[in-house]
Structure 1
Amino acid sequence: MPKDKSDKKPAPSPASPVTAPAATAPAPARRLQETDLRFLGRVSRFLASIMDADVIGRARTSGYSLQEHQRGWALQRAASGEGRSLDHLFTVRDQHLTKLGKAEQQRLLEAIDEFENHWFPVTRAVIRRVVPRAHREAFTEAFFHDLAQQPLGPGVITSVSTFLQRLDGLPKSKLPGADAVRSTLSERGLTAAREAEVRALLDLARGQQG
Protein backbone atom coordinates (compact mmCIF):
# COMPACT_ATOMS: atom_id res chain seq x y z
CA MET A 1 0.00 0.00 0.00
CA PRO A 2 1.45 3.33 -0.95
CA LYS A 3 2.51 5.48 1.95
CA ASP A 4 0.54 8.64 2.53
CA LYS A 5 2.47 11.60 1.25
CA SER A 6 1.41 13.56 4.33
CA ASP A 7 3.77 11.39 6.38
CA LYS A 8 6.79 12.68 4.56
CA LYS A 9 8.94 15.11 6.52
CA PRO A 10 9.70 18.38 4.76
CA ALA A 11 13.17 18.56 3.32
CA PRO A 12 15.47 20.67 5.49
CA SER A 13 16.11 24.13 4.13
CA PRO A 14 19.64 24.72 2.93
CA ALA A 15 21.88 26.09 5.62
CA SER A 16 22.52 29.79 5.43
CA PRO A 17 26.09 30.61 4.54
CA VAL A 18 28.18 31.50 7.55
CA THR A 19 29.48 35.04 7.32
CA ALA A 20 32.81 35.64 8.93
CA PRO A 21 32.75 38.44 11.48
CA ALA A 22 34.15 41.70 10.22
CA ALA A 23 37.72 42.23 11.20
CA THR A 24 38.08 44.69 14.03
CA ALA A 25 40.33 47.59 13.15
CA PRO A 26 43.26 47.87 15.51
CA ALA A 27 42.92 50.59 18.07
CA PRO A 28 44.95 53.67 17.23
CA ALA A 29 48.18 54.10 19.12
CA ARG A 30 47.62 56.23 22.19
CA ARG A 31 49.88 57.48 24.93
CA LEU A 32 48.38 57.39 28.41
CA GLN A 33 47.95 60.82 29.94
CA GLU A 34 48.27 61.73 33.62
CA THR A 35 44.50 61.56 34.08
CA ASP A 36 44.46 58.07 32.53
CA LEU A 37 47.16 56.84 34.90
CA ARG A 38 45.35 58.26 37.93
CA PHE A 39 42.13 56.54 36.85
CA LEU A 40 43.89 53.19 36.37
CA GLY A 41 45.42 53.60 39.82
CA ARG A 42 41.97 54.08 41.36
CA VAL A 43 40.68 51.01 39.51
CA SER A 44 43.58 48.91 40.82
CA ARG A 45 42.99 50.07 44.39
CA PHE A 46 39.28 49.29 44.08
CA LEU A 47 39.85 45.80 42.70
CA ALA A 48 42.42 45.02 45.39
CA SER A 49 40.51 46.46 48.35
CA ILE A 50 37.14 44.94 47.44
CA MET A 51 38.55 41.50 48.27
CA ASP A 52 38.57 42.46 51.95
CA ALA A 53 36.28 40.06 53.81
CA ASP A 54 33.97 42.79 55.10
CA VAL A 55 33.78 44.64 51.78
CA ILE A 56 33.25 41.65 49.49
CA GLY A 57 30.28 40.53 51.59
CA ARG A 58 28.49 43.83 51.06
CA ALA A 59 29.47 43.85 47.36
CA ARG A 60 27.95 40.40 46.83
CA THR A 61 24.63 41.52 48.26
CA SER A 62 24.61 44.21 45.55
CA GLY A 63 25.21 41.66 42.80
CA TYR A 64 28.99 41.89 42.51
CA SER A 65 30.22 38.53 41.20
CA LEU A 66 33.49 36.72 40.64
CA GLN A 67 32.98 37.08 36.89
CA GLU A 68 32.66 40.86 37.22
CA HIS A 69 35.77 40.96 39.39
CA GLN A 70 37.79 39.00 36.84
CA ARG A 71 36.43 41.16 34.04
CA GLY A 72 37.53 44.26 35.94
CA TRP A 73 41.12 43.03 36.23
CA ALA A 74 41.16 42.02 32.55
CA LEU A 75 40.05 45.49 31.47
CA GLN A 76 42.52 47.15 33.83
CA ARG A 77 45.44 45.12 32.45
CA ALA A 78 44.42 45.81 28.85
CA ALA A 79 44.09 49.54 29.48
CA SER A 80 47.50 49.57 31.19
CA GLY A 81 49.11 48.20 28.04
CA GLU A 82 49.64 44.60 29.04
CA GLY A 83 50.05 42.43 25.96
CA ARG A 84 50.98 45.23 23.59
CA SER A 85 53.87 44.45 21.28
CA LEU A 86 57.12 46.38 21.36
CA ASP A 87 56.41 47.58 17.81
CA HIS A 88 53.12 49.05 19.00
CA LEU A 89 54.85 50.87 21.85
CA PHE A 90 57.43 52.30 19.43
CA THR A 91 54.54 53.59 17.30
CA VAL A 92 53.00 55.28 20.33
CA ARG A 93 56.35 56.87 21.17
CA ASP A 94 56.92 58.15 17.62
CA GLN A 95 53.43 59.64 17.42
CA HIS A 96 53.92 61.35 20.78
CA LEU A 97 57.25 62.88 19.69
CA THR A 98 55.68 64.08 16.43
CA LYS A 99 52.90 65.75 18.38
CA LEU A 100 55.44 67.42 20.67
CA GLY A 101 57.40 68.61 17.65
CA LYS A 102 54.33 70.23 16.13
CA ALA A 103 53.44 71.89 19.42
CA GLU A 104 56.97 73.26 19.80
CA GLN A 105 56.97 74.61 16.22
CA GLN A 106 53.66 76.34 16.90
CA ARG A 107 55.07 77.87 20.08
CA LEU A 108 58.08 79.22 18.16
CA LEU A 109 55.91 80.71 15.42
CA GLU A 110 53.71 82.38 18.02
CA ALA A 111 56.75 83.93 19.74
CA ILE A 112 58.13 85.21 16.41
CA ASP A 113 54.70 86.52 15.42
CA GLU A 114 54.41 88.36 18.74
CA PHE A 115 57.77 90.05 18.05
CA GLU A 116 56.60 91.05 14.57
CA ASN A 117 53.24 92.39 15.79
CA HIS A 118 55.00 94.60 18.32
CA TRP A 119 58.10 95.87 16.54
CA PHE A 120 56.85 96.47 13.01
CA PRO A 121 54.35 99.18 14.10
CA VAL A 122 56.82 100.58 16.65
CA THR A 123 59.49 100.93 13.96
CA ARG A 124 57.09 102.80 11.68
CA ALA A 125 56.22 105.14 14.55
CA VAL A 126 59.90 105.73 15.38
CA ILE A 127 60.69 106.56 11.75
CA ARG A 128 57.89 109.13 11.71
CA ARG A 129 59.20 110.61 14.94
CA VAL A 130 62.98 110.87 14.42
CA VAL A 131 63.56 111.02 10.65
CA PRO A 132 63.49 114.53 9.15
CA ARG A 133 60.12 115.32 7.59
CA ALA A 134 61.54 115.63 4.08
CA HIS A 135 62.90 112.06 4.21
CA ARG A 136 60.27 110.18 6.23
CA GLU A 137 58.27 108.79 3.33
CA ALA A 138 61.36 107.68 1.40
CA PHE A 139 62.87 106.15 4.55
CA THR A 140 59.69 104.21 5.36
CA GLU A 141 59.33 102.95 1.80
CA ALA A 142 62.97 101.83 1.69
CA PHE A 143 62.94 100.10 5.08
CA PHE A 144 59.61 98.31 4.52
CA HIS A 145 60.08 97.56 0.82
CA ASP A 146 58.51 94.11 0.19
CA LEU A 147 58.21 93.76 3.96
CA ALA A 148 54.80 93.48 5.59
CA GLN A 149 53.38 91.83 8.67
CA GLN A 150 52.34 88.24 8.05
CA PRO A 151 49.52 86.21 9.59
CA LEU A 152 50.55 83.65 12.18
CA GLY A 153 52.33 80.89 10.30
CA PRO A 154 55.64 80.06 8.58
CA GLY A 155 55.58 83.42 6.75
CA VAL A 156 56.66 85.23 9.91
CA ILE A 157 60.04 83.48 9.74
CA THR A 158 60.87 85.27 6.48
CA SER A 159 59.35 88.63 7.44
CA VAL A 160 61.13 88.85 10.80
CA SER A 161 64.42 87.65 9.29
CA THR A 162 64.20 90.43 6.70
CA PHE A 163 63.30 92.95 9.40
CA LEU A 164 66.42 92.05 11.39
CA GLN A 165 68.57 92.36 8.27
CA ARG A 166 67.19 95.86 7.70
CA LEU A 167 68.02 96.74 11.30
CA ASP A 168 71.59 95.55 10.76
CA GLY A 169 71.83 97.90 7.78
CA LEU A 170 70.79 101.04 9.66
CA PRO A 171 74.25 101.93 11.07
CA LYS A 172 75.70 101.72 7.54
CA SER A 173 72.87 103.62 5.87
CA LYS A 174 73.36 107.10 4.43
CA LEU A 175 69.68 107.92 4.82
CA PRO A 176 69.17 110.86 7.18
CA GLY A 177 67.96 109.69 10.57
CA ALA A 178 69.08 106.05 10.23
CA ASP A 179 71.28 106.19 13.33
CA ALA A 180 68.52 107.91 15.28
CA VAL A 181 66.03 105.19 14.31
CA ARG A 182 68.36 102.45 15.53
CA SER A 183 69.27 104.14 18.79
CA THR A 184 65.64 104.97 19.55
CA LEU A 185 64.58 101.38 18.95
CA SER A 186 67.32 100.23 21.36
CA GLU A 187 66.03 102.66 23.98
CA ARG A 188 62.56 101.20 23.55
CA GLY A 189 63.79 97.66 24.16
CA LEU A 190 64.98 96.35 20.81
CA THR A 191 68.51 95.80 22.05
CA ALA A 192 71.23 93.56 20.67
CA ALA A 193 70.32 90.99 23.33
CA ARG A 194 66.65 91.02 22.25
CA GLU A 195 67.70 90.61 18.63
CA ALA A 196 69.86 87.63 19.58
CA GLU A 197 66.89 86.00 21.32
CA VAL A 198 64.73 86.35 18.22
CA ARG A 199 67.49 85.09 15.93
CA ALA A 200 67.74 81.99 18.12
CA LEU A 201 63.98 81.45 17.78
CA LEU A 202 64.27 81.80 14.01
CA ASP A 203 67.05 79.20 13.89
CA LEU A 204 64.96 76.79 15.94
CA ALA A 205 61.92 77.37 13.75
CA ARG A 206 64.03 76.60 10.67
CA GLY A 207 65.28 73.41 12.32
CA GLN A 208 68.86 74.64 12.39
CA GLN A 209 69.27 74.11 16.14
CA GLY A 210 68.05 71.72 18.78
Structure 2
Amino acid sequence: MAKKRIGDKAERVLKLLLGLRNKKIASALASRGFGKEDLEEGLSLLRGVTDVSLAVLPPRSPNPAVIEQLDRWENEWFPVANATLLRHYPEIHARVFLNLSQTAGAAVVISVGTFVERVAELTRAEGGHGQAGKDARKLLQRRGLTPAVIAEAKELLEQVSSIEDEPAELPDLEEENARLAEAEDAMWAWYLEWSEIARSAIKDRNLLRRLGFLNSSRRAPSTITDEDDEDDEAEDAAEPTPTSNAA
Protein backbone atom coordinates (compact mmCIF):
# COMPACT_ATOMS: atom_id res chain seq x y z
CA MET A 1 0.00 0.00 0.00
CA ALA A 2 1.33 3.46 -0.88
CA LYS A 3 2.62 5.69 1.86
CA LYS A 4 0.13 8.29 3.03
CA ARG A 5 0.46 11.82 1.72
CA ILE A 6 0.73 14.72 4.14
CA GLY A 7 -2.83 15.81 3.35
CA ASP A 8 -4.15 12.35 4.21
CA LYS A 9 -2.25 12.39 7.48
CA ALA A 10 -3.54 15.83 8.40
CA GLU A 11 -7.09 14.65 7.69
CA ARG A 12 -6.59 11.65 9.99
CA VAL A 13 -5.29 13.86 12.78
CA LEU A 14 -8.18 16.28 12.36
CA LYS A 15 -10.71 13.45 12.48
CA LEU A 16 -9.19 12.15 15.70
CA LEU A 17 -9.23 15.62 17.26
CA LEU A 18 -12.84 16.23 16.24
CA GLY A 19 -13.82 12.82 17.58
CA LEU A 20 -12.70 13.92 21.03
CA ARG A 21 -15.79 16.13 21.22
CA ASN A 22 -17.68 12.92 21.91
CA LYS A 23 -17.86 12.41 25.69
CA LYS A 24 -17.46 8.64 25.49
CA ILE A 25 -14.34 8.94 23.36
CA ALA A 26 -12.91 11.69 25.55
CA SER A 27 -13.60 9.63 28.67
CA ALA A 28 -11.98 6.52 27.23
CA LEU A 29 -8.81 8.38 26.28
CA ALA A 30 -8.80 10.27 29.58
CA SER A 31 -8.57 6.89 31.31
CA ARG A 32 -5.29 6.41 29.40
CA GLY A 33 -3.94 9.80 30.49
CA PHE A 34 -5.10 11.97 27.61
CA GLY A 35 -5.55 15.50 28.92
CA LYS A 36 -5.77 19.14 27.89
CA GLU A 37 -2.05 19.34 27.19
CA ASP A 38 -2.26 16.38 24.78
CA LEU A 39 -5.17 17.98 22.98
CA GLU A 40 -3.36 21.28 22.65
CA GLU A 41 -0.26 19.47 21.44
CA GLY A 42 -2.24 17.75 18.69
CA LEU A 43 -3.86 21.00 17.60
CA SER A 44 -0.50 22.77 17.63
CA LEU A 45 1.18 20.07 15.54
CA LEU A 46 -1.65 20.16 13.01
CA ARG A 47 -1.42 23.96 12.76
CA GLY A 48 2.34 23.64 12.39
CA VAL A 49 1.96 21.53 9.27
CA THR A 50 -0.57 23.97 7.82
CA ASP A 51 1.58 27.03 8.56
CA VAL A 52 4.67 25.55 6.93
CA SER A 53 2.65 24.39 3.92
CA LEU A 54 1.33 27.91 3.36
CA ALA A 55 4.84 29.35 3.58
CA VAL A 56 5.92 27.54 0.40
CA LEU A 57 2.99 28.69 -1.71
CA PRO A 58 3.96 30.72 -4.81
CA PRO A 59 3.34 34.49 -4.87
CA ARG A 60 -0.25 35.47 -5.48
CA SER A 61 -1.29 36.19 -9.03
CA PRO A 62 -2.54 39.62 -10.18
CA ASN A 63 -5.74 40.88 -8.58
CA PRO A 64 -8.63 39.22 -10.45
CA ALA A 65 -10.67 42.43 -10.19
CA VAL A 66 -7.98 44.41 -12.01
CA ILE A 67 -7.67 41.73 -14.69
CA GLU A 68 -11.43 41.83 -15.16
CA GLN A 69 -11.38 45.63 -15.63
CA LEU A 70 -8.57 45.35 -18.18
CA ASP A 71 -10.53 42.69 -20.00
CA ARG A 72 -13.58 44.95 -20.20
CA TRP A 73 -11.38 47.82 -21.44
CA GLU A 74 -9.92 45.60 -24.14
CA ASN A 75 -13.34 44.29 -25.20
CA GLU A 76 -14.62 47.84 -25.61
CA TRP A 77 -11.72 49.58 -27.35
CA PHE A 78 -9.97 46.93 -29.43
CA PRO A 79 -12.96 46.58 -31.80
CA VAL A 80 -13.25 50.38 -32.14
CA ALA A 81 -9.58 50.82 -33.01
CA ASN A 82 -9.53 47.76 -35.23
CA ALA A 83 -12.51 48.84 -37.36
CA THR A 84 -11.40 52.48 -37.56
CA LEU A 85 -7.80 51.87 -38.56
CA LEU A 86 -8.59 48.97 -40.88
CA ARG A 87 -10.81 51.14 -43.05
CA HIS A 88 -9.03 54.51 -42.94
CA TYR A 89 -5.38 53.64 -42.26
CA PRO A 90 -4.78 49.99 -43.24
CA GLU A 91 -0.97 50.29 -43.13
CA ILE A 92 -1.08 51.72 -39.62
CA HIS A 93 -3.64 49.10 -38.67
CA ALA A 94 -1.21 46.38 -39.73
CA ARG A 95 1.50 47.79 -37.47
CA VAL A 96 -0.74 48.49 -34.46
CA PHE A 97 -2.40 45.07 -34.53
CA LEU A 98 0.64 43.03 -35.58
CA ASN A 99 0.36 39.72 -33.66
CA LEU A 100 -2.20 41.42 -31.44
CA SER A 101 -5.76 40.27 -30.78
CA GLN A 102 -8.29 40.21 -27.96
CA THR A 103 -7.36 37.83 -25.20
CA ALA A 104 -8.74 36.57 -21.89
CA GLY A 105 -7.47 36.19 -18.35
CA ALA A 106 -4.02 37.42 -17.32
CA ALA A 107 -2.97 37.66 -20.99
CA VAL A 108 -4.85 40.96 -21.24
CA VAL A 109 -1.98 42.55 -19.34
CA ILE A 110 0.27 41.88 -22.34
CA SER A 111 -2.27 42.66 -25.05
CA VAL A 112 -3.51 45.94 -23.53
CA GLY A 113 0.00 47.03 -22.59
CA THR A 114 1.21 46.43 -26.15
CA PHE A 115 -1.79 48.21 -27.66
CA VAL A 116 -1.39 51.28 -25.44
CA GLU A 117 2.29 51.55 -26.33
CA ARG A 118 1.62 51.25 -30.06
CA VAL A 119 -1.12 53.88 -29.95
CA ALA A 120 1.30 56.23 -28.17
CA GLU A 121 3.82 55.67 -30.98
CA LEU A 122 1.36 57.06 -33.54
CA THR A 123 2.24 60.62 -32.56
CA ARG A 124 5.92 60.12 -31.79
CA ALA A 125 8.54 61.14 -34.32
CA GLU A 126 10.48 57.97 -33.64
CA GLY A 127 7.34 55.94 -34.28
CA GLY A 128 7.84 56.34 -38.02
CA HIS A 129 4.18 57.00 -38.79
CA GLY A 130 4.57 60.67 -39.76
CA GLN A 131 1.50 62.78 -40.37
CA ALA A 132 -0.61 59.70 -41.05
CA GLY A 133 0.02 58.55 -37.49
CA LYS A 134 -1.09 61.87 -36.05
CA ASP A 135 -4.22 61.87 -38.21
CA ALA A 136 -5.02 58.30 -37.21
CA ARG A 137 -4.67 59.20 -33.53
CA LYS A 138 -7.02 62.16 -33.94
CA LEU A 139 -9.59 59.92 -35.58
CA LEU A 140 -9.34 57.41 -32.75
CA GLN A 141 -9.95 60.23 -30.28
CA ARG A 142 -13.12 61.19 -32.15
CA ARG A 143 -14.20 57.56 -31.86
CA GLY A 144 -13.82 57.84 -28.07
CA LEU A 145 -10.32 56.53 -27.49
CA THR A 146 -9.27 59.74 -25.74
CA PRO A 147 -6.17 60.39 -23.61
CA ALA A 148 -8.35 59.90 -20.55
CA VAL A 149 -9.39 56.45 -21.74
CA ILE A 150 -5.77 55.54 -22.45
CA ALA A 151 -4.83 56.83 -18.98
CA GLU A 152 -7.44 54.49 -17.48
CA ALA A 153 -5.73 51.50 -19.10
CA LYS A 154 -2.30 52.71 -17.94
CA GLU A 155 -3.52 53.04 -14.36
CA LEU A 156 -4.84 49.47 -14.40
CA LEU A 157 -1.57 48.22 -15.84
CA GLU A 158 0.35 50.00 -13.09
CA GLN A 159 -1.82 48.28 -10.46
CA VAL A 160 -0.93 44.91 -11.93
CA SER A 161 2.77 45.78 -11.89
CA SER A 162 2.65 46.92 -8.27
CA ILE A 163 0.90 43.71 -7.24
CA GLU A 164 3.46 41.57 -9.04
CA ASP A 165 6.34 43.44 -7.39
CA GLU A 166 4.74 43.38 -3.94
CA PRO A 167 5.70 39.92 -2.57
CA ALA A 168 8.85 39.73 -0.48
CA GLU A 169 11.70 37.49 -1.47
CA LEU A 170 10.73 33.89 -2.13
CA PRO A 171 11.34 31.45 0.72
CA ASP A 172 14.19 28.96 0.53
CA LEU A 173 12.24 25.97 -0.77
CA GLU A 174 14.80 23.44 0.43
CA GLU A 175 14.69 24.88 3.94
CA GLU A 176 10.89 25.11 3.94
CA ASN A 177 10.54 21.53 2.69
CA ALA A 178 12.81 20.35 5.50
CA ARG A 179 10.67 22.24 8.02
CA LEU A 180 7.54 20.73 6.50
CA ALA A 181 8.98 17.20 6.75
CA GLU A 182 9.90 17.81 10.39
CA ALA A 183 6.43 19.18 11.19
CA GLU A 184 4.80 16.26 9.40
CA ASP A 185 6.87 13.68 11.33
CA ALA A 186 6.03 15.31 14.66
CA MET A 187 2.32 15.44 13.89
CA TRP A 188 2.21 11.87 12.66
CA ALA A 189 4.12 10.55 15.68
CA TRP A 190 1.46 12.15 17.92
CA TYR A 191 -1.27 10.54 15.85
CA LEU A 192 0.31 7.07 15.82
CA GLU A 193 0.62 7.11 19.60
CA TRP A 194 -2.92 8.21 20.39
CA SER A 195 -4.64 6.30 17.59
CA GLU A 196 -3.06 3.07 18.87
CA ILE A 197 -4.13 3.90 22.43
CA ALA A 198 -7.65 4.76 21.22
CA ARG A 199 -7.98 1.44 19.38
CA SER A 200 -7.02 -0.34 22.57
CA ALA A 201 -9.24 1.69 24.92
CA ILE A 202 -12.39 1.92 22.77
CA LYS A 203 -14.36 -1.15 21.75
CA ASP A 204 -17.51 0.46 20.34
CA ARG A 205 -17.27 0.19 16.55
CA ASN A 206 -19.40 3.29 16.03
CA LEU A 207 -16.99 5.33 18.12
CA LEU A 208 -14.00 3.87 16.28
CA ARG A 209 -15.66 4.76 13.02
CA ARG A 210 -16.17 8.33 14.23
CA LEU A 211 -12.43 8.51 14.85
CA GLY A 212 -11.66 7.31 11.34
CA PHE A 213 -10.56 3.75 12.00
CA LEU A 214 -11.77 0.36 13.17
CA ASN A 215 -9.88 -2.25 15.13
CA SER A 216 -10.17 -5.62 13.43
CA SER A 217 -11.33 -8.43 15.72
CA ARG A 218 -9.54 -10.96 13.53
CA ARG A 219 -6.03 -10.05 14.62
CA ALA A 220 -4.17 -8.90 17.68
CA PRO A 221 -3.49 -5.18 18.01
CA SER A 222 -0.21 -4.14 16.42
CA THR A 223 1.70 -0.95 15.89
CA ILE A 224 -0.01 1.33 13.37
CA THR A 225 2.01 2.37 10.36
CA ASP A 226 1.39 4.41 7.22
CA GLU A 227 0.38 1.23 5.43
CA ASP A 228 -1.78 -0.13 8.28
CA ASP A 229 -4.58 2.40 8.65
CA GLU A 230 -7.53 0.88 6.78
CA ASP A 231 -10.55 2.98 5.98
CA ASP A 232 -14.07 2.25 7.19
CA GLU A 233 -15.26 0.88 3.89
CA ALA A 234 -12.57 -1.80 3.69
CA GLU A 235 -13.17 -2.78 7.30
CA ASP A 236 -16.93 -2.96 6.87
CA ALA A 237 -16.58 -5.00 3.70
CA ALA A 238 -14.45 -7.56 5.54
CA GLU A 239 -16.87 -7.83 8.48
CA PRO A 240 -19.13 -10.95 8.23
CA THR A 241 -22.81 -10.18 7.77
CA PRO A 242 -24.94 -11.70 10.58
CA THR A 243 -27.49 -14.28 9.37
CA SER A 244 -30.42 -15.79 11.18
CA ASN A 245 -30.65 -19.55 11.72
CA ALA A 246 -33.63 -21.31 10.31
CA ALA A 247 -36.04 -22.55 12.88
Please report the TM-score for the alignment, with normalisation by the length of structure 2. Answer: 0.43
Which entry has the higher C-alpha Rg, 1 or 2? 1
